[in-house]
Amino acid sequence: MKAFITLVKLYLNSIFRFSVMRYSNDGRERRNAVMGVVAIVIIIVVYGGMSGMTSYRMISAGVDPAIPFLMIATLASLFALAMAFAQGSATLSAFADFDTLMGMPIPITLIVLARFLALYSVEALYCAAYLLPCGVIYAILCAPVWWFYPVFLIMLLLLPVVPVVIGSGADLLLSAAFAKSKYKKGITSTIKMILLMGFIIFAYMLPQLSNSFLNAPEKTAAITSRLYPPAQWFAKGATGSFPLALLFIAGSAALCVLFVLILNRTFLPLHDRLSAGYHVKNYKLGMLRSSGALKALFTIERKRFFNSTAWVINTIIGSILIIVIGVAGAALSGTLSAFFRVASVSGYTAAMITGILIFCATISPTTSCAISMEGKEIWIAKTLPVRAKLWLSAKLLMNLVLVGPSLLIAITLLAVFYRGILTAADILGIVLMPIASLLFTTVFGLYVNAKMPRLDWNTDTEVVKQSGSVLIVLLAGIGQVAISVLPALLTGIRWLTPAIAAVLLCAAAAIYLYLMKNAEQIRRNL
């Protein structure tokens, strides 16, 4: 039992980095760990606030309390499913410390249980953020029976079981199926990105779904219950049906035990399969091609990016959204332009377009974790016989190539199709401000990551999802949306946005010059 508790502590520490915050003598590492926890806290607060407001709105309107429980439990399960599918195989079976653990006198069963519990604990934390506010609102407004409190807490702890089992099991099967394929990263990344897009669309439609629940709650709840029965068991059990509460608890516990037993039996074969690589048969050396230093470094950066499923999913979503917004906005330009005129908001069209494009272009640049992704192989970059400014330039170029083309296409489409309700100053702002924001975010992301690198990670998800530099750059992107949209909306001065873009371009140039001037020192200090 002591070994099991130690393993769980180690895995949770690798996720939340409590030991680094407490014992590390490196101030930069402590700041990184703190920012990672801050990012998790922000997510929890946002989820909790959304859940609490939705529950209060529905229960106050006289809706059956089981319906907000049903809706929020379904949303929490979908989120847990997406998270487990994104990182299940990396957390449960394929990991860097495998040889070390296998050499210790620890049963494989304890390793499996500890890793499953670490993954499960993170998902349970997010599910609790969704459901606890709903439970508090229900307890205040409806005064349930005494057994509601212990039963609700037990069901809350077991809520992630079904999504975690389905998500991580599907990820393990998918990764194992394409483990020996030459294109395994591309295939798995594409499938995971499609799932993530579906979740984002669902989250975007949540306000409309809330209205649908209010307008036809029984009908909508019946559809949701048929699609995902455990959510109905949870909702009904939390609001008075003790038999359904027992069914949910017993079913979730049985499924959890069954999954752990299967994973325990297949742990070693799965790890071997997931750790396998693609090998070309009958390989023959043909012609060797040479290229310049910058092109070679960019090629390395591109391969590193596309070899990380978590990095691809976290970053490329912005480029996809930009294209979708550009094409959809152009296709619906006639309808939307007429609507803006009728609603007397045509003067805000430029601000809305600019804000949306900036948000999508700056949501997660590759540079915010480009240095951190070097990881324990950073010594290779430090010993390369190339100038450090070329090494940094390749990282900057990666983000510009990834986001720049889609941004230019969207800007062109929107500026052309909405020119009827835009002034010359509006069009200039739409063109300059998103480009300036992209350039600023690209160099600022690299600057922050150079100041806050995280090189001691075990899985790339730790860097992409829990890095302090990623959170800072994300907040900076939201700040750029605010400074580009709010002044123009509040003052009504059309030329203010191009002026802000000029200031942002100057700031980007200053940061770029700093990076190039101090490139050698930055690389040496890593």
Per-residue pLDDT tens over the stretch 22-47:
777 767 667 767 777 777 787 778 77
Q: In which band, very low, low, confident or very high, does the pLDDT at 229 lie, cut at 50, 70 and 90? A: confident
CA distance 331 to 82: 31
Poorest-pLDDT segment among 78-87, 164-173, 254-263: 78-87
Beta carbons of 213 and 63 less than 8 angstroms apart: yes
Residue 525, pLDDT above cutoff 70: yes
Per-residue pLDDT tens over the stretch 327-358:
888 887 777 777 666 555 556 777 888 888 88
Burial degree of 165 (CB within 10 A; 0-12, 13-18, 19+): buried
Poorest-pLDDT segment among 71-85, 87-101, 388-402: 87-101
CA distance 198 to 205: 11
Residue 102, pLDDT above cutoff 70: no
Instruction: Write the DSSP string, 423-446.
Output: -HHHHHHHHHHHHHHHHHHHHHHH
Beta carbons of 391 and 322 less than 8 angstroms apart: no
- What Cα–Cα distance (Å) separates residue 355 from each residue in 233, 255, 437? 42, 45, 10
Where are the domains positioned within the chain? Answer: 2-274, 293-525
Q: Which residues contact 277 (CB under 8 A, 6 or more apart)?
A: 180
Closest CA to 51 of 128, 169, 131: 131
Q: Which residues contact 436 (CB under 8 A, 6 or more apart)?
A: 501, 502, 504, 505, 508
Q: Give me the mean pLDDT over the 164-185 stretch.
A: 75
Comparing 183 with 439, which gets the higher pLDDT? Answer: 439
Residue 513, pLDDT above cutoff 90: yes
Task: Output phi, psi for 364, to 5 deg.
Answer: -165, 80
- What Cα–Cα distance (Å) separates residue 385 from each residue in 290, 450, 520? 15, 20, 12
- What Cα–Cα distance (Å) separates residue 262 from each residue in 112, 169, 181, 275, 405? 10, 10, 25, 19, 46
The pTM of the full predicted model, rounded to 2 decimals, is: 0.63
Query: What does the pLDDT read at residue 88?
Result: 66
Q: What 3-state DSSP class applies to 31?
A: helix
Poorest-pLDDT segment among 105-114, 199-208, 265-274, 457-466: 199-208
Q: Give me the mean pLDDT over the 162-179 stretch.
A: 80
- What Cα–Cα distance (Å) separates residue 173 from each residue in 101, 157, 192, 310, 438? 23, 26, 13, 17, 38
Comparing 11 with 231, which gets the higher pLDDT? Answer: 231
Element (H, E) at 456: none
CA distance 378 to 100: 22
Query: What does the pLDDT read at residue 443?
Result: 94
Q: In which band, very low, low, confident or very high, does the pLDDT at 507 lie, cut at 50, 70 and 90? A: very high
Residue 217, pLDDT above cutoff 60: no
Residue 399, pLDDT above cutoff 80: yes
